[in-house]
Amino acid sequence: MKPGRIVIVILLIWSLGPLAWQLYTSFCTDQALVMPFASHDQRWTLAHYQSVLTSNPPFTRYLFNSLFAGVLSTILTLLLAIPAGYCLSKLGKRSALVIKCLLIGCALFPYVLLFLALLEIARFLQLGNSLIALAIPYAALSQPLAVLLLASAFSDLPSELEDAARVEGLTILQRFRWILLPLISPAIASTAILVFLFSWNEYPIALTWISDSDKLTLPVAMARIAGSSIHSVPYGPYAAATVIGSIPLILLVMIFQKPIVSGLTTGAVKG
């Protein structure tokens, strides 16, 4: 085997091994988990999946909540970031640099440190326990990355294109609709998928803003299963929840790996 091949195999085992273990756990009966080498009447079971899917609220509810918050945040982020990115690409070099540095600074900031003030804002404006309201901080936290990615896409377009359209008498909205947006659609796709992933996975804000058990997002619901005790985590149902919770994301990554990678790497190159 070539060294490249071996590394790929190691990489695959490294990345997917722990997930495979969760998959295995999710189908094992409790006895089989405790004593894997003894012989059992019943080694495999679907009971964990049953308990996860029939609990109140059922686990699919959290998937739906995360999907809802994710889609909404993505739309809001794009609505804010597309005009901002366009504007940033048209600014003079100096002021664009200042704003870019500011954005990179914000992107570097570990936002978990903001949770307390955001919680106060949520209380003050009565935004707690609302999946719709969750889109506001998510869109705001996504701005640095989204604006930087979109601005770099806008500035890669030849300026003659827009000038010609302007000469033809197209208004700015028409130029956006018919020329600019179609041309930067790959960057929009990358941005959208990265923002969606961020919102889907976000934990500290969702944890502090939402307490109703049927409004929890997936990461918070997962953490709640753990409860407060370290010793009595129901690992079987939990593994089943991991598997169900991972499937949509794994599909998403497989389908959209190209825009994800291009978004991440443009982020790195232009940053």
Q: How far is the CB of 54 from other proteins (least distance, A)?
A: 20
Establish if 1 lies at the interface with other proteins (CB under 8 A): no
Task: Identify the DSSP state of 38.
Answer: S
CB nearer to other proteins: give 182 or 227: 227
Q: How far is the CB of 164 from other proteins (least distance, A)?
A: 19
* Interaxial angle between packed helices 59-90 and 93-108, expressed in degrees from 0 to 180 and rounded to the nearest 10: 160
Say if CB 73 and CB 139 are below 8 A apart: yes
Which positions from 187 through 206 interact with other proteins, judged by CB under 8 A? 197, 200-201, 203-204
Q: How far is the CB of 261 from other proteins (least distance, A)?
A: 6
Establish if 174 lies at the interface with other proteins (CB under 8 A): no
Establish if 11 lies at the interface with other proteins (CB under 8 A): yes
As a whole number of angstroms, the distance between CA 129 and CA 132 comes to 9
Specify the stretch interacting with other proteins by CB under 8 A; choose among 40-48, 49-57, 127-135, 136-144: 136-144
Establish if 8 lies at the interface with other proteins (CB under 8 A): yes
User: Could you tell me the CA-to-CA distances from 265 to 18, 78, 241, 254 in Å, in that order?
Assistant: 26, 19, 32, 17
Which positions from 229 through 248 interact with other proteins, judged by CB under 8 A? 230, 233, 235, 238-239, 242, 245-246
Q: Which residues of 161-193 are buried (b: 16+ CB within 10 A; e: fewer)?
A: ebeebeeeebeeeebbeebbeebbeebbbbbbb
- Name the nearest CA neighbour of 152 among 74, 76, 78, 263: 263
Q: How far is the CB of 66 from other proteins (least distance, A)?
A: 9
Q: How far is the CB of 25 from other proteins (least distance, A)?
A: 7
**Binding residue (CB under 8 A) for other proteins from 31, 33, 165, 170:** 33
Establish if 130 lies at the interface with other proteins (CB under 8 A): no
Establish if 253 lies at the interface with other proteins (CB under 8 A): yes
Establish if 211 lies at the interface with other proteins (CB under 8 A): no
As a whole number of angstroms, the distance between CA 224 and CA 219 comes to 9
Establish if 152 lies at the interface with other proteins (CB under 8 A): no
CB nearer to other proteins: give 84 or 184: 84
Establish if 165 lies at the interface with other proteins (CB under 8 A): no
- For residue 240 the two structure tokens come to 């089943």
CB-CB neighbours of 240 under 10 Å: 25
**Binding residue (CB under 8 A) for other proteins from 106, 127, 170, 183:** 106
The DSSP annotation for 57-126 comes to: S-HHHHHHHHHHHHHHHHHHHHHHHHHHHHHHHHS-HHHHHHHHHHHHHHHHS-GGGGHHHHHHHHHHTT
